[in-house]
Structure 1
Amino acid sequence: MLRPVIAFILLTGASFSAACGQEPPSDTASAQLAAGAAPEAVRAAPESQAQIQLSFAPVVREAAPAVVNVYSRRVIAQRSPFAGDPFFERFFGGPQPRQREVNSLGSGVIVDASGVIVTNNHVVAGARDLRVVLSDRREFAAELLLADERTDLAVLKIDADEPLPVMAFDDSGTAEVGDLVLAIGNPFGVGQTVTSGIVSALARTDVGITDYAFFIQTDAAVNPGNSGGALVNMRGELIGVNTAIFSRSGGSQGIGFAIPAEMVRTVVAAAEDGGRIVRPWLGARLQAVTSDLAQSFGLDRPRGAVVAELWPDAAAERAGLRRGDVVLAVDGVQVNDENGARFRFATRSIGQDARVTVLRDGDELTLTVPAEAAPGDPEGRRLQVEGRNPLQGAELVQLSPAFNEENGLDPFARGVLVFSVTPRTNAGFVGFQPGDRVLSLMGESVEDLSDASDILRRHDGAVRWPVEIERRGDRIRREVRL
């Protein structure tokens, strides 16, 4: 018996040939919800049949006009079925590469009346043509302002001749498990659709969809085409951007995930401020608190994250964080692992401060940690190796927290990495691969590019080269003869 396949499925829709939309909403919308001005919500279960029959229509009328359809067109290479066939290649000169045009569908949310729209990065990735269809069926060409693969968010801009309806962000940060929510998008291209549900869970960090995993989970039905659409609270505010579902079949099974509005706002602000994201870096490596650790720290249960390592002179160390501290909360929000702390810190802007609550020797302290960029060059200092040595033809790069963060590496990794290898060079023949970390040459430790350059210069032309590298976690030692 085959086991059912369970997967996290990004919600980009299949190919469609025409834009789908809704008729414009009625001008006689009841109750206009003042964004940001509403009093704190009072949560209560229905107490009568009349309350059970209350409608979400006023919320939908307020929020739905700000949700759009996003159509992307891209060209992909299609592998020939005759590739590698000796007979075909002999008589027809080899298979010719073929290209195929693919149209995909997603959703988006207008967050600025000038035409700024947020959606998922996977909706627009690789697109050469982007079009946006409003809820009143008007259609516009869209410009990509920013695409951020690490958060799976993208920001588009359209030029309309009048201010557009906007969905306000939920700035309160008070969403709770059990709160009613609406999901608005265009599933399967059938047209704008609203589904209802509740917040099923908060701070989901084990989803593995983006580098900053910290999702709102909901049971509101979302399906392919909902990607980039809105998850809305009962005040008509954006609390998240729908991104993926956990599914056995590819359809909705009541487990959907949305990127919280705090991160969405940060990416939109970066797009409007020039299109470059500079991510704050805490400078501390954290590990989850186990039952044994909780007992040793005097905690009533496993909670928080232990500081296992600090980068010298980074923001955390200068703010007074120490190894062995238990980070309990960032900006008043409880965290239980490194992903949660990274997400909370990443929603701050460079120059702002974050309040980090820690447990130290049985006492709770609140430290003020500045939001600063990771140290180092995000592009990485490079060295193109020449001469007569085993690394001739390789491009080396200096590891740093900034470069590592930008390329999805361990932020605390140090040393020198093989960035690329030119074919038909010594490095290629010897077997160096991109991603190899050079630990030593000629028995001398390689800590940075200066070490590597000095060793290669002093021993240029040597016949025997003892080399030590790290490849995918394994240390490899060998002697190379030229």
Structure 2
Amino acid sequence: MKKFFSLIGMAVLGGAITLGGYKVFFEDTLPAEKLPLNSVQSVQTNYKPAFKTNTTSINADVIDFTVAAEKTIHSVVHVKNISVRTQFNPLDIFFGNGSGTRKYEQIGTGSGVIISPDGYIVTNNHVIEGANDLEITLNNKKKYKAEIIGADKTNDIALLKINVDEELPYTPFANSDTIKIGEWVLAVGNPYNLTSTVTAGIVSAKGRDLEGNGNIESFIQTDAAVNPGNSGGALVNTRGELVGINTAISSKTGSFVGYSFAVPSNIANKIVNDLLEFGMVQEAILGISVDSRYKEEGVKVGEVFNEEGAIKSPLKSGDIIKSINEVKISKFSELRGQLTAKRPGDTVDVTIERDGKLLKKKIILNKRNTYISRVLNISLKDLSAKEKQQYNLKGGAKIIEVGNENLSYYGIKKGFIIIKINNKIVLSASEAQSMIDNSNFGSGNPLYVEFINLQGEIESYGIR
């Protein structure tokens, strides 16, 4: 019997030693186990523990979103896009019921932000695109017909106007360059037609470029929940100032899965002013091409284009742009964002790295006449009057840089002139860039392009 109890004691002791060793060596690697759903207890949100801890915490009262929300919800509007579409139905012809075409009404909804007391509203271009009629509903349920003042498809911004007899609540623009990663922001809009919806999050990133979006963008990325219907709505700071226009989400389902993207307020504000003053966006450039092979921090200058009659640029090939007006530039989308918020003729302070030294240069921005197609990775420029006369053309787009090695397979080179894309005549570089980047190329469909080569001969290619 003693032997039996001795064996039991040794087993218990061995188990304790084993358990102790397990806790010492392995416990930290165990995953936390989730509590069963029915074991989760709910407590009121104003619950405060009766004891103090040594950990430092932030009192919830310090971050108050109520002022920003109250200021913004009355200036964010519901936008209803009513468009008439034509549908072809061959069965109608077969059964003798007409021409085979039917017209039907299509309705889309989004959001907009009142930016002045007399009824100017900023929204996304894709919210109002193709509209036959636009209806604006204010937070107080009053409805108005809206007029489109202008739109910029590239940056997805549009300006509307409603005629009112009273001063409207509006949201002022903030300087989006000053917002910081980690700063609290609110997204205000009308997701799924749920009016005056406010969600909170933080700025997750700045200068974000969305892959596959067709354009080089410079979005503010946040984790504030944004869903269909939020497009064109406000992204505001905790003071209720407009820091961005909510534009896109990154999603495989069509619904919010963690991140949303907004056009910075500096860009939106500049586009609004251009549309009001000139009726179109005035694009400013540094007059350079970018070396896309450079993968380190900053933007490397590829080639400098000194236009006839323009002030000679102090930049040189190989310079690395580090900042614009003291705003750090880490990648091309950040450079694009800074330039999009400027006008031709503006002077900017550009910090560059040249031969290992940091230099500051004052540069007067030129008017944009170079356009980059992301789809083909080529830079395009309008033809000069001499070139139009030489080739007897009304317009066209000259390739000034080829960054796509696959195009060498077709023999396409710098200096080729694009005259047709998918059998449509090209009149300008901006038109060529838009036609290429908005085509279905890359989805298994070829791109048919007609060129004038370096010998002045016409060549046609189906690029795949």
SS of corresponding position for 2:395:
strand
Quick check: 1:176 aligned with 2:180?
Answer: yes
Quick check: 1:217 aligned with 2:217?
Answer: no
Quick check: 1:436 aligned with 2:444?
Answer: no
Q: CA RMSD in A?
A: 3.4
Q: Which amino acid aligns with 1:359?
A: E
- Partner residue, 1:197: 201
Q: Which amino acid aligns with 1:57?
A: T
1:310 maps to which of 300, 304, 307: 304
Quick check: 1:235 aligned with 2:239?
Answer: yes
- Partner residue, 1:107: 111
In structure 1, distance between residues paired with 2:365 and 2:346: 5
In structure 2, distance between residues paired with 1:118 and 1:181: 19
2:395 maps to which of 394, 397, 403: 397
Quick check: 1:326 aligned with 2:339?
Answer: no
1:156-212 Cα deviation digits (max 9, x unpaired): 001110111111111262211111110000000022100011111111024443634
Quick check: 1:469 aligned with 2:459?
Answer: yes
In structure 2, distance between residues paired with 1:365 and 1:397: 40
- Partner residue, 2:418: 417
2:84 maps to which of 56, 68, 75: 75
Quick check: 1:124 aligned with 2:114?
Answer: no
- Partner residue, 2:249: 245
Contact 1:374 1:401 in 2 (8 A): no
In structure 1, distance between residues paired with 2:399 and 2:282: 13
Q: CA deviation at 1:155?
A: 0.2
Quick check: 1:64 aligned with 2:73?
Answer: yes
In structure 2, distance between residues paired with 1:319 and 1:112: 38
Quick check: 1:364 aligned with 2:358?
Answer: yes
Q: Which amino acid aligns with 2:89?
A: S
In structure 1, distance between residues paired with 2:462 and 2:355: 38
Q: CA deviation at 1:335?
A: 2.0
Q: CA deviation at 1:413?
A: 6.4
1:36-66 Cα deviation digits (max 9, x unpaired): xxxxxxxxxx955743585411211112211
1:361-395 Cα deviation digits (max 9, x unpaired): 11111111212213599987799x9xxxxx9xx96
Contact 2:200 2:225 in 1 (8 A): yes
Q: CA deviation at 1:311?
A: 1.7
Q: CA deviation at 1:248?
A: 2.0
Q: Which amino acid aligns with 2:418?
A: L
In structure 1, distance between residues paired with 2:142 and 2:66: 23
Contact 2:123 2:232 in 1 (8 A): yes
1:238-292 Cα deviation digits (max 9, x unpaired): 110000111121111111110001110011101221422121122111135646x
In structure 1, distance between residues paired with 2:369 and 2:225: 42
Q: Which amino acid aligns with 1:247?
A: S
Q: CA 1:401 to 1:366, structure 2 compared with 1: closer, same or farther past 3 Å?
A: farther
Q: Which amino acid aligns with 1:311?
A: F
In structure 2, distance between residues paired with 1:473 and 1:334: 38
Structure possessing the higher relative contact order (Cα contacts under 8 Å, 6 or more residues apart): 1
In structure 2, distance between residues paired with 1:361 and 1:49: 47
SS of corresponding position for 2:266:
helix
Q: CA 1:89 to 1:164, structure 2 compared with 1: closer, same or farther past 3 Å?
A: closer
- Partner residue, 2:347: 353
Contact 2:450 2:459 in 1 (8 A): yes
Structure 1 residue runs of 5 or longer lacking an equivalent are 1-45, 83-87, 292-301, 386-390, 403-411, 424-432, 447-466, 475-482
1:123-159 Cα deviation digits (max 9, x unpaired): 0001010111111111111000011111111000011
Q: CA deviation at 1:468?
A: 5.0
1:155 maps to which of 159, 181, 184: 159
Contact 1:289 1:305 in 2 (8 A): no
Contact 1:381 1:398 in 2 (8 A): no
Structure 2 residue runs of 5 or longer lacking an equivalent are 1-54, 371-379, 401-412, 426-446
Quick check: 1:275 aligned with 2:273?
Answer: no
Q: CA deviation at 1:340?
A: 2.5
In structure 2, distance between residues paired with 1:67 and 1:196: 16
Contact 2:270 2:341 in 1 (8 A): yes
1:342-371 Cα deviation digits (max 9, x unpaired): 221121122211221110011111111212
Contact 2:294 2:300 in 1 (8 A): no
Q: CA 1:269 to 1:47, structure 2 compared with 1: closer, same or farther past 3 Å?
A: farther
In structure 1, distance between residues paired with 2:195 and 2:399: 45
In structure 2, distance between residues paired with 1:280 and 1:438: 29
In structure 2, distance between residues paired with 1:312 and 1:141: 47
When normalised by structure 1's length, the TM-score is 0.68
1:68-100 Cα deviation digits (max 9, x unpaired): 111110112324265xxxxx8677599612222
1:261 maps to which of 260, 265, 282: 265
Q: CA 1:422 to 1:51, structure 2 compared with 1: closer, same or farther past 3 Å?
A: closer
SS of corresponding position for 1:397:
coil
Contact 1:282 1:315 in 2 (8 A): no
The aligned length equals 364
Q: CA 1:50 to 1:141, structure 2 compared with 1: closer, same or farther past 3 Å?
A: same
Contact 1:345 1:354 in 2 (8 A): no
Identity, in percent, stands at 32
Q: CA deviation at 1:313?
A: 3.0
In structure 1, distance between residues paired with 2:361 and 2:121: 36
